[in-house]
Amino acid sequence: MAIELKMPALSPTMEEGKLAKWLVKEGDEVSSGDILAEIETDKATMEFESIDEGVVGKILVAEGTEGVKVGTVIAVLAGEGEDASSVEAPAAKAEESAEAPQSGEKPAEDKKPAESGTANLHSDIKTPRGPEVPHGTNMKTSTVRDALRDAMAEEMRRDDRVFVMGEEVAEYQGAYKVTQGLLAEFGPTRVIDTPITEYGFAGIGTGAAMGGLRPVIEFMTFNFAMQAIDHIINSAAKTNYMSGGQMRCPIVFRGPNGAASRVGAQHSQNYGPWYANVPGLVVIAPYDASDAKGLLKAAIRSDDPVVFLENELIYGRSFELPELDDHVLPIGKARVMREGKDVTIVSYSIGVGLALEAAETLAEEGLDVEVIDLRTLRPLDKETVLASLAKTNRLVVAEEGFPVCSIASEISAICMEEGFDDLDAPVVRVCNEDVPLPYAANLEKLALIDAKRVVEAVKKVCYR
Partner 1 sequence: MPKAKTPVAETATVADASTDEDFALHSLQAALDADKRYEPSKEELLHFYEQMLLIRRFEEKAGQLYGLGLIGGFCHLYIGQEAVAVGLQSALDGSKDSVITGYRDHGHMLAYGIDPKVIMAELTGREAGISKGKGGSMHMFSVEHRFYGGHGIVGAQVSLGAGLAFAHKYREDGGVAMAYFGDGAANQGQVYESFNMAALWKLPIIFVIENNGYAMGTAVKRGSAETHFHRRGTAFRIPGMSVDGMDVLEVRKAAEVALEYVRGGNGPVLMELNTYRYRGHSMSDPAKYRSREEVQDVREKRDPIEHAKAELMGMGVTEESLKELDKRVRSQVAQSADFAENSPEPVASELYTDVLVESY
Amino acid at 276: A
Closest to partner 1 by CB, 95 vs 159, is 159
The residues binding partner 1 (CB under 8 A) are 163, 189, 194-195, 197, 199-213, 230-231, 234-235, 239-248, 250, 279-280, 282, 302-304, 330-333, 376, 379
Q: Choosing from 122, 231, 267, 327, which is the catalytic residue?
A: 267
The CB-of-297 to partner 1 minimum distance in angstroms stands at: 14
In this structure, what are the phi and psi dihedrals at residue 398, rounded to the nearest 5 degrees? -110, 120
Question: Distances from the Cα of 21 to the Cαs of 13, 27, 74, 163, 358, in angstroms?
Answer: 22, 17, 12, 34, 41
| Residue 415 buriedness (CB in 10 A; 0-12 / 13-18 / 19+) | buried
The CB-of-199 to partner 1 minimum distance in angstroms stands at: 5
Closest to partner 1 by CB, 33 vs 244, is 244
Active site residue 198: yes
The CB-of-248 to partner 1 minimum distance in angstroms stands at: 6
The CB-of-279 to partner 1 minimum distance in angstroms stands at: 5
Closest to partner 1 by CB, 104 vs 212, is 212
Q: Choosing from 154, 155, 167, 198, which is the catalytic residue?
A: 198
Contact 385, 372 (CB under 8 A): yes
Residue 61 to residue 133: CA distance in whole angstroms = 42
Closest to partner 1 by CB, 89 vs 213, is 213
The CB-of-331 to partner 1 minimum distance in angstroms stands at: 5
Closest to partner 1 by CB, 260 vs 284, is 284
Secondary structure (H, E, C), the chain: CCEEEECCCCCCCCCEEEEEEECCCCCCEECCCCEEEEEECCCCEEEEECCCCEEEEEECCCCCEEEEECCCEEEEEECCCCCHHHCCCCCCHHHHHHHCCCCCCCCHHHHCCCCCHHHHHCCCCCCCCCCCCCCCCCEEEEEHHHHHHHHHHHHHHHCCCEEEEECCCCCCCCCCCCCCCHHHHHCCCCEEECCCCHHHHHHHHHHHHHCCCEEEEECCCCCHHHHHHHHHHHHHHCHHHHCCCCCCCCCEEEEECCCCCCCCHHHCCCCHHHHHCCCCCEEECCCCHHHHHHHHHHHHHCCCCEEEEECHHHHCCEEEEECCCCCCCCCCCCEEEECCCCEEEEECCCHHHHHHHHHHHHHHCCCCEEEEECCEEECCCHHHHHHHHHHHCCEEEECCCCCCCCHHHHHHHHHHHHHHHHCCCCCEEECCCCCCCCCCHHHHHHHCCCHHHHHHHHHHHCCC
The CB-of-249 to partner 1 minimum distance in angstroms stands at: 9
Closest to partner 1 by CB, 333 vs 459, is 333
The CB-of-211 to partner 1 minimum distance in angstroms stands at: 3
Nearest to 428 by CA among 446, 437, 416, 417: 416
HSE at residue 343, side-chain half, CA atoms within 13 A, is 32
Closest to partner 1 by CB, 241 vs 439, is 241
Contact 225, 253 (CB under 8 A): yes
The CB-of-386 to partner 1 minimum distance in angstroms stands at: 17
Closest to partner 1 by CB, 198 vs 288, is 198
Closest to partner 1 by CB, 40 vs 230, is 230
The CB-of-276 to partner 1 minimum distance in angstroms stands at: 14
What amino acid positions are annotated as catalytic residues? 198, 267
